[in-house]
Amino acid sequence: MATANTVSRMHAKPAVLGDTATIGTTFTLFKTSADSAVPVKVYIPGTDRLRGKSFRVHASGNVKTAVTTNVTVTLQYGTSGTPGSNTTVEASTAVAVNTTDAPWSITGEFIVEDVLKTLRGSGTSQVAGTHAVFTTLDNAPTSVDPTDEGNAFVVGITFSVGDAGNKATLEDFHLEVM
């Protein structure tokens, strides 16, 4: 849940993944609308507002499955609608969510390393009650310019089995200064 320290958040609730097409074994980003190629983004404020400050990016929602499947939630650094063009900074393990509804969340805590322009930090996730402890980032993005207004995070989901009954929502996505 966003706090008074929130400096960036998604602007509108995105489309429900799986409402208009079957989602499954391909990583799918949450989009601004069902027919859009534009992912939902949370921007890092530029103009040095975060220089030397720790910040947290958090996303949460729900998944619904109609078959036996595993769910993986992924937080990426980047702005592209093509997931392979972004850098995965945190990903949950594949968690069994079998013919049920379940909550998910993913969180990264970051600081921009000023000299090397690298994003440092750790992350955690939870899917259907399976919680991962905070660990070092899966990948540390480089060439992160804290003065650039265009840096952002995106989030998406993967089901291990494609099915028309697979659905995913993104209820909250924000960045806050710690």
In the chain, where are the structural domains located?
A: 6-177
Question: What does the pLDDT look like over 13-59, one tens digit per residue?
Answer: 887 888 766 776 778 888 887 667 789 999 988 767 787 789 999 99
DSSP secondary structure letters along 26-47? S-EE-BSSTT--PBP-EEPP-T
Stretches in the chain below the pLDDT threshold 50 = none
Could you tell me the pTM of the whole model? Answer: 0.91
Per-residue buried b or exposed e for 91-121, using 16+ beta carbons within 10 Å of the residue's own CB: bbebbebeeeebebbbbbbbbbeeeeeebbb
User: Under a CB-based contact definition with an 8 Å cutoff, are residues 174 and 149 in contact?
Assistant: no
Residue 121 has a pLDDT of 93
pLDDT of 168 reads 92
Instruction: Give dist(CA 82, CA 94) in Å, integer.
Output: 21
Instruction: Output the pLDDT for position 10.
Output: 84
> Which of 102, 14, 13 is CA-nearest to residue 66?
102
